[in-house]
Amino acid sequence: MSIVIETQNLRRCYGTGVTLVAAVNGISVSIEQGEFTAIIGPSGSGKSTLLNLIGGLDQPDEGRVLLQGQDIAAMTGNAISDFRRDHIGFIFQAYNLIPVLSAHENIEYIMLLQGVPKLNRQARVLEMLGLVGLKGLGHRRPAELSGGQQQRVAVARAMASKPDIILADEPTANLDSKTGAELLDLMRELNAEQGLTFLFSTHDQMIMARAQRLVHIKDGIIEQDESR
């Protein structure tokens, strides 16, 4: 399998002087195509910081993040925004849908920014709605959907632009256990059938149980990296 994304000696610190904390302290890790991997660890371990660095939402103090042979960590401004848009899908615990747009429009939005022709966009949105079990609900705005349905829209939005990797930060945190389990089973199914690469940051036991690989982080370093 080919490597989708790789970090090399990644380091990110917060604070100064005696309050300086290395949230990520020299982490090197690679994610291969088609993986369903979870970064796990206690609160404050650095797992969300690592995911943000991998996704280009934060910049490291040292090290590299390589995707498609390009160093995300060296990009700034529009370059990193455009690169994220075209290569990385995001799923957040708070859904982060645009409230004034319908589910259809939320899914379509990134493709609109990419300049995808209208007919192609429309076909892709309908395909995504079907894949996540929301066929016929594309006209509804986020407030008219349940939390589980909103997160399904977020999953569809993350997949719509056909990214190299989908990053999910605590995607089940705001869902009840039944809805969370259904969403995770959906993502696992999409991973198996579509070959999508998923990387989670989580302490949810349901995600850990479904992950093929667990990267254990504590105090900003990798304690254990186990494949199952």
Instruction: Read off the CATH number of the domain in which 214 is found.
Output: 3.40.50.300
Whether pTM > 0.85 for this model: the answer is yes
Q: Quick one: pLDDT at residue 68?
A: 80
Q: Rounded to an integer, what distance in angstroms lies between the CA atom of residue 211 and that of residue 174? A: 20
Q: Rounded to an integer, what distance in angstroms lies between the CA atom of residue 28 and that of residue 53? A: 12
Q: Which domain holds residue 11?
A: 3-227
Measured in degrees and rounded to the nearest 5, phi and psi for residue 49 equal -60, -45
Q: Quick one: pLDDT at residue 69?
A: 82
Q: Quick one: pLDDT at residue 134?
A: 94
Asked whether the beta carbons of 73 and 63 are under 8 A apart, the reply is: yes
DSSP label of 52? H
Q: Quick one: pLDDT at residue 222?
A: 96
pLDDT under 70: residue ranges of the chain: 1
* Number of separate domains in the chain: 1
Digit-coded pLDDT (tens) for 82-124: 999 999 999 998 889 999 999 999 999 999 999 999 999 999 9
Q: Are β-strands 213-218 and 198-202 bridged in parallel, bridged antiparallel, or unpaired?
A: unpaired
Q: Rounded to an integer, what distance in angstroms lies between the CA atom of residue 80 and that of residue 69? A: 14
Q: Quick one: pLDDT at residue 54?
A: 95
Q: Are β-strands 165-169 and 70-71 bridged in parallel, bridged antiparallel, or unpaired?
A: unpaired
Q: Quick one: pLDDT at residue 204?
A: 92
Q: Rounded to an integer, what distance in angstroms lies between the CA atom of residue 53 and that of residue 57? A: 6
